[in-house]
């Protein structure tokens, strides 16, 4: 009770400060209860949703105003503060009673999200509570739902969701069988945004042919079993050809130049492309990524290589990246993340001597040959991330001249020197956010 009283006092202090900025909305206010409904609701928008629920306990006036405010809310992000401190067997768990109560007070929610913090993700992954039943029991206008790794989300729940909200436009969901995916693609014809984050699926490409005409963003499930060609075929045989945003996670990748060539040729409307892959290439190819140069409308490009192994080559090379940035001149955001040092495959350690082990720690990836020309080739660049590349201070000098660059992350770039980074920080005044992680070459006197 004491903690509730102190929280109430804190809320009253906050509201009092907000009132001081709202006195012009009414004539000669004497008390907070003199405010009209519009002004009071305007103040509540500055408070966390948890505090709005606490306000309901202050007085009848606060109860009435808070309920009216909640009834007109269209967005809900359900996180740990709303869920409360709910522990079972030492683990944080999902509180179904609280969730049902919150949603019941907000019947006009159109956008429903769940926090991505580790605690909430664990709670969803272990709960048996039927979240979809609560949504269908209280809501009628839900257009967006973003929920991942929910244990209770089975085929029955998916079917209920699709039947109750057939006009849904944005969906992020983790599914674990192809039948659930088929229910979604057949039943939600108005989907514009479809995110299969954390889904575990096998060969599901044929179901992607059923995506509706309005689809513009597709984030694929991780391709664990080398079905990347089927995924691309499914999109191209349906309405995916006109996608604006495409996100692929490829777990098995060898020397497959046709993948990038097809993406560049067939998805001509893309404005954002993200590809995350594991490189196991046995043949060096100096033009592997060149096919992406056909995506002339691209504004965002993210290519990430998660691992590199002994005797395998990086997906990156200067020639193909140079071709890409010469043709994709509208890029505003660019991320190039190499797998970095070779990682030894299981069993290799006993088969090589110390010299070979040292050689395996060396790597060669993108260099100044391509990236020192960024200022000339990408004048609109605003965000840039470079990791595990073979660049030097020469590239930093190029980045200084990017007048629109606002955010820069430099990660594990051992070719940079302390003096070079210092000069860059002094001269690149246009950058608002700069991160430098594990980059400096040792200096010897």
Higher pLDDT among residues 442 and 383, named by residue: 383
Split at pLDDT 50, 70, 90, the class of 137 is: very high
Pick the CATH number of 244-445 from 3.30.70.890, 3.80.10.10, 3.30.499.10, 3.90.1580.10: 3.80.10.10
Pairing verdict, β 170-173 and 144-147:
parallel
**231 and 256 Cβ atoms separated by less than 8 Å:** no
Give the C-alpha separation, 281 to 25, whole Å: 66
Backbone angles phi, psi at 62, to 5 degrees: -65, -40
Split at pLDDT 50, 70, 90, the class of 352 is: very low
Backbone angles phi, psi at 124, to 5 degrees: -65, -35
Half-sphere exposure of 248 (CA within 13 A, CB side): 26
- What pLDDT does 436 receive? 92
In the DSSP assignment, the letter for residue 315 is: S
Which tens digits make up the pLDDT trace of 214-229? 999 999 999 988 889 9
Give the C-alpha separation, 158 to 173, whole Å: 10
- β-strand partners of 409: 385, 435
Split at pLDDT 50, 70, 90, the class of 58 is: confident
- What pLDDT does 286 receive? 66
Show me where the domains of the chain are located: 8-72, 244-445
Give the C-alpha separation, 335 to 209, whole Å: 30
Q: Which two tokens stand for residue 41?
A: 């609701």
Site of tokens 């955001």: 333
Which tens digits make up the pLDDT trace of 256-288? 788 899 999 999 999 999 999 876 665 666 678
Is residue 444 scored above 50 in pLDDT? Answer: no
157: enclosing H helix or E strand: helix 155-164
Is residue 26 scored above 60 in pLDDT? Answer: no
Give the C-alpha separation, 400 to 419, whole Å: 14
């Amino acid at each position: 009770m004491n903690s509730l009283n102190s929280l109430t006092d804190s809320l009253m202090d906050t509201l009092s400060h907000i009132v001081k900025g709202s006195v012009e909305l009414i004539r000669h206010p004497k008390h907070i209860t003199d405010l009209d409904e519009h002004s009071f609701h305007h103040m509540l928008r500055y408070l966390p949703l948890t505090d709005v629920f606490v306000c309901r306990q202050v007085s009848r006036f606060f109860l009435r105003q808070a309920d009216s405010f909640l009834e007109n809310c269209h967005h809900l992000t359900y996180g740990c503060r709303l869920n409360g401190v709910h522990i079972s067997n030492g683990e944080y768990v999902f509180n179904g009673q609280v969730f049902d109560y919150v949603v019941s007070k907000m019947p006009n929610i159109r956008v429903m999200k769940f926090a991505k913090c580790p605690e909430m993700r664990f709670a969803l992954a272990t709960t048996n509570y039927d979240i979809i039943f609560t949504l269908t029991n209280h809501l009628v206008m839900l257009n967006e739902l973003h929920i991942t790794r929910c244990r209770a989300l089975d085929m029955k729940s998916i079917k209920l969701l699709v039947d109750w909200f057939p006009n849904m436009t944005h969906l992020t969901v983790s599914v674990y069988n192809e039948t659930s995916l088929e229910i979604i693609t057949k039943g939600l014809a108005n989907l514009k945004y479809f995110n299969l984050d954390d889904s575990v699926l096998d060969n599901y490409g044929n179901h992607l042919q059923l995506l509706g005409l309005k689809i513009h963003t597709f984030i694929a499930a991780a391709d664990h079993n080398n079905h990347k060609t089927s995924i691309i075929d499914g999109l191209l045989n349906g309405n995916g050809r006109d996608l604006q945003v495409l996100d692929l996670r490829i777990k098995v990748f060898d020397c497959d130049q046709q993948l990038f060539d097809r993406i560049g040729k067939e998805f001509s409307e893309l404005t954002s492309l993200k590809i995350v892959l594991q490189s196991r290439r046995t043949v060096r190819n100096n033009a592997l990524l060149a096919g992406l140069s056909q995506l002339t409308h691209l504004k965002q490009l993210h290519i990430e290589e998660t691992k590199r192994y002994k005797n395998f080559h990086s997906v990156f090379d200067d020639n193909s990246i140079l071709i890409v940035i010469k043709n994709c001149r509208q890029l505003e955001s660019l991320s190039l993340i190499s797998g970095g040092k070779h990682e030894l495959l299981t069993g290799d350690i006993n088969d090589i001597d110390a010299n070979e082990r040292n050689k395996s720690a060396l790597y060669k990836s993108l260099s100044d040959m391509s990236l020192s020309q960024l200022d000339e080739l990408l004048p609109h660049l605003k965000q840039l991330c470079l990791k595990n590349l073979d660049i030097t201070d020469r590239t930093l000098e190029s980045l200084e001249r990017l007048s629109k660059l606002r955010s820069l992350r430099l990660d594990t770039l051992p070719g940079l020197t302390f003096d070079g980074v210092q000069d860059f920080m002094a001269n690149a005044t246009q950058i608002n956010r700069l991160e430098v992680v594990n980059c400096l070459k040792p200096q010897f006197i």
